[in-house]
Structure 1
Amino acid sequence: MQTISTQPAPLSTDAVVVREAIARARTGLVDREVVAEVVALCAVAGEHVLVIGAPGTAKSEAVRRTADQFGGRYFEYLLGRFTEPSEIFGPVDLRRLREGFVEFETAGMLPEAEVAFLDEVFLGSTAVLNTLLGILNERVFRRGSTLVTCPLRVCVGAANSLPDDPALAAFADRFLAHVFVNPVPDARLDELLEVGWAASSRPSERAGSLLPTLDRLSRAADGCDLQGVRGPLAAAIRQLRQAGVPLSDRRVVRSQRLVAAAAAMDGRTTATADDLWVLPLIAPTPHTQASAREVLSDLLARGRNGSLVYAAEEFARGERARAARLVDAGSRLLDEVGTGPLTHDDRLRIEATLREIDAGFVLADAPQALRDTRGLLVAAIQR
């Protein structure tokens, strides 16, 4: 499988570092890999992500694990109808108030966070959401005499469902990427039960803050060459709008940031049609995301990403993305089982991966990397 690449080595190295961090974040989660990867994509793009799903579907756990890998200053809050702005943005500075100035103490609060998670985000009051808009859009907190430039890389909002209120729908539009989470499918229930029983509260291992790495990737995304992909991107947007997918001009323009971030996280400084798999993410509802996949199926089938293998497969639905994910899964499985005797569970996992490869690909037509990985898996199970 060939990759178009003009990047200097450090960019490729940073992409690998983030890839490994995402892998650690998703360890112990079942069918929530896409959430972790999209949060990382948006952190590099400098955009925000909305995660929608029923209660008990591990939305919060996936976000927390990913944020833990990022490091830096983290803010989390569960919003309610009676949440006061001071609970999110900080209380009034009483000392300054006695001097006649209305200022706010923001230490440890959202205005000074680098990664934020707001659960039940649509339950916030008008005062909370209006103030939040300034932080999301401009990275600036303004209240009274207080003016704070916010270091926020990404804000994740979570809710059980999309709002019907038009005002709240407009607020939801500020989150560029939308991820919809369903209960774990029946085919993976055995895995869910096993992982859930073995789960512990210990944090995932992390070596220092990942934020400098994310910042370098963000700068690479800012400088990404999009010239060759703007024509296909514009054509795709026209197709989506003609199919009834509502996309504001703001979402259309900012979709380029996801495309550029996807290229950077694949270790490249030039975006290609391979990166347009991100487009269904900007469709606002499950129905319109399904429409986007259908309308753009031929274009999206080219998509793949070496760092975001699960997200690329989910939204591209193509063989290249599936092959990349299976190569990643097979390689990690080989690392985990090592070179010693296999346990019964190891054999079952290898057999399951081999079945998926053989069911999805004609071996003679499969990418070389996937054929190599399959060969190593076969050799492992025969030892």
Structure 2
Amino acid sequence: MHTISRQLAPLSTDAAVVREAVARARTGLVDREVVAEVVALSAVAGEHVLVIGAPGTAKSEAVRRTADQLGGRYFEYLLGRFTEPSEIFGPVDLRRLREGTVEFETAGMLPEAEVAFLDEVFLGSTAVLNTLLGILNERVFRRGSTLLPCPLRVCVGAANSLPDDPALAAFADRFLARVFVTPVPDARLDELLEVGWQTGARPADPPGSLLAAVDRLSRAAGGCDLQGVRGPLATAIRQLRQAGVPLSDRRVVRSQRLVAAAAALDGRTTASADDLWVLPLIAPTLDAQASAREVLSDLLAQGRNGSLVYAAEEFARGRQAQAARLVDAGRRLLDEVGSAPLAQEDRLRLEATLREIDAGFVLAEAPPAVRDIRGLLVAAIKR
């Protein structure tokens, strides 16, 4: 019993550390919270993320903020048709070249990055993408005589749309998680305008690199007990394939990594049906993700995650996830406003959260945590 307690305490602590980092990254983001959370989920899973959306939808900003909070060596580049491999992987070492050996100087380049962001990732040349495959798949950089293990935790690729070229399909399949972003909905335009006007506002600085906590969570995810969830997972995959959702065997097998990472970020060493909300993430297109939500609606409805409240709600579309997100939002708002007299702006934020709670739940049937946070919000507004 004591051994189990000692093992669980660090896991819950690391989950809380990453949860707070993601919350800081979300600060100032409007309708892009899911991007930040899925990047963190994928870092723990050891997988990569593809973010698809039109220009001007804050894809880059969401990724940068999350990378900044996670810490570690960061590499970012905007790829183009004429991007040279040396711009991504480093130039040839001229000293070694004079000795007859082709090696590369990788300091500060992608092969030595721990978190990477490649914008317009599908515009890279064949030479760039082929070398990238080795880094994404095996975490190894191979070029000339250079053979270098890569410390990459997560690579985020971004593009305006998915490629039509079948030759890029194998490369795209290496990005297990997909997040599709659209312009901010009308209901949140006031919030967008306010945040956008505060151009200098940035998240609080992180306490330091959090990659050690990410790595411990990754190890916990690697040892996660999936036995009880493999049956429901296999059934869900069969349902998705029968509905026409194209899933390669690679994506099916590696989906378990997202399930295990979700459990670890929720502070657990055993996965459950609560963690299967991640399944729509592996559907490769926006239409396929919509089909996945519909086909698996009953299964996903029980999804939730204490660390990834926005992503769990987005993909589960269930009451548990909605409740967790509203409780988290309410607590953070109350912490921010404190006990001082309310400014008008703070009052409006509290009232907005209260309205969302009342619109989503009948008070008598709401989870206790929702009822409790509602009472605290009402008290704060009345003071």
**What TM-score do you get using the length of structure 2 for normalisation?**
0.98
Q: Is the aligned partner of 1:171 residue 2:206?
A: no
CA–CA separation in structure 2 for the residues paired with 1:90 and 1:73? 15
Secondary structure of the residue aligned to 1:31 is coil
| Aligned residue in 2 for 1:345 | 345
* 1:57-98 Cα distance to aligned partner (Å, 9 max, x none): 000000000000011110000000000001000111111111
CA–CA separation in structure 2 for the residues paired with 1:246 and 1:79? 28
1:323 is aligned with what amino acid?
Answer: A
Secondary structure of the residue aligned to 2:132 is helix
CA–CA separation in structure 2 for the residues paired with 1:189 and 1:45? 33
Alpha-carbon contact 1:7-1:267 (below 8 Å) kept:
no
CA–CA separation in structure 1 for the residues paired with 2:90 and 2:348? 52
Q: Is the aligned partner of 1:312 residue 2:308?
A: no
Counterparts in 2 of 1:57 and 1:102: CA distance versus 1, 3 Å: same
Pairwise CA distance, 1:345: 1.2
* 1:297-333 Cα distance to aligned partner (Å, 9 max, x none): 0000000000000000000000000000000000000
Pairwise CA distance, 1:111: 0.4
CA–CA separation in structure 1 for the residues paired with 2:146 and 2:6? 44
Pairwise CA distance, 1:199: 2.4
| Aligned residue in 1 for 2:90 | 90
Pairwise CA distance, 1:170: 2.1
Q: Is the aligned partner of 1:219 residue 2:219?
A: yes
| Aligned residue in 2 for 1:330 | 330
Note the 1:172-321 alignment, pairs <5 A: 172-200=172-200, 202=202, 204-321=204-321
Alpha-carbon contact 1:49-1:177 (below 8 Å) kept:
yes
| Aligned residue in 2 for 1:132 | 132
Pairwise CA distance, 1:203: 5.8
Q: Is the aligned partner of 1:160 residue 2:160?
A: yes
Moved over 2 A (4+): 201-204
Secondary structure of the residue aligned to 2:76 is strand
Secondary structure of the residue aligned to 2:194 is helix
1:256 is aligned with what amino acid?
Answer: Q
CA–CA separation in structure 1 for the residues paired with 2:109 and 2:352? 46
Contiguous gaps of at least 5 residues in structure 1: none
Alpha-carbon contact 1:7-1:268 (below 8 Å) kept:
no
Q: Percent of counterpart pairs with the same letter? A: 88
CA–CA separation in structure 2 for the residues paired with 1:32 and 1:281? 15
Alpha-carbon contact 1:6-1:268 (below 8 Å) kept:
no
**What TM-score do you get using the length of structure 1 for normalisation?**
0.98
| Aligned residue in 2 for 1:37 | 37
Alpha-carbon contact 1:6-1:270 (below 8 Å) kept:
no
| Aligned residue in 2 for 1:58 | 58
Secondary structure of the residue aligned to 1:350 is helix
Counterparts in 2 of 1:92 and 1:123: CA distance versus 1, 3 Å: same
* 1:43-62 Cα distance to aligned partner (Å, 9 max, x none): 00000000000000000000
1:239 is aligned with what amino acid?
Answer: Q
1:238 is aligned with what amino acid?
Answer: R
Counterparts in 2 of 1:13 and 1:69: CA distance versus 1, 3 Å: same
Counterparts in 2 of 1:328 and 1:7: CA distance versus 1, 3 Å: farther
Q: Is the aligned partner of 1:113 residue 2:150?
A: no
CA–CA separation in structure 2 for the residues paired with 1:89 and 1:262? 32
CA–CA separation in structure 2 for the residues paired with 1:103 and 1:151? 19
CA–CA separation in structure 1 for the residues paired with 2:7 and 2:251? 28
Q: Which moved more, 1:129-138 or 1:7-16?
A: 7-16
Alpha-carbon contact 2:327-2:370 (below 8 Å) kept:
yes
Alpha-carbon contact 2:28-2:202 (below 8 Å) kept:
no
CA–CA separation in structure 2 for the residues paired with 1:364 and 1:7? 38
Pairwise CA distance, 1:9: 1.1
CA–CA separation in structure 2 for the residues paired with 1:124 and 1:296? 36
CA–CA separation in structure 1 for the residues paired with 2:208 and 2:127? 36
1:179 is aligned with what amino acid?
Answer: V
2:337 is aligned with what amino acid?
Answer: V
CA–CA separation in structure 1 for the residues paired with 2:24 and 2:129? 33
Contiguous gaps of at least 5 residues in structure 2: none
Alpha-carbon contact 1:162-1:169 (below 8 Å) kept:
no
Secondary structure of the residue aligned to 1:206 is coil
1:30 is aligned with what amino acid?
Answer: V
Pairwise CA distance, 1:202: 4.7
Alpha-carbon contact 2:118-2:155 (below 8 Å) kept:
yes
* 1:246-298 Cα distance to aligned partner (Å, 9 max, x none): 00000000000000000000000000000000000000000000000000000
CA–CA separation in structure 1 for the residues paired with 2:128 and 2:165? 16
Alpha-carbon contact 2:276-2:300 (below 8 Å) kept:
yes
Number of equivalences: 379
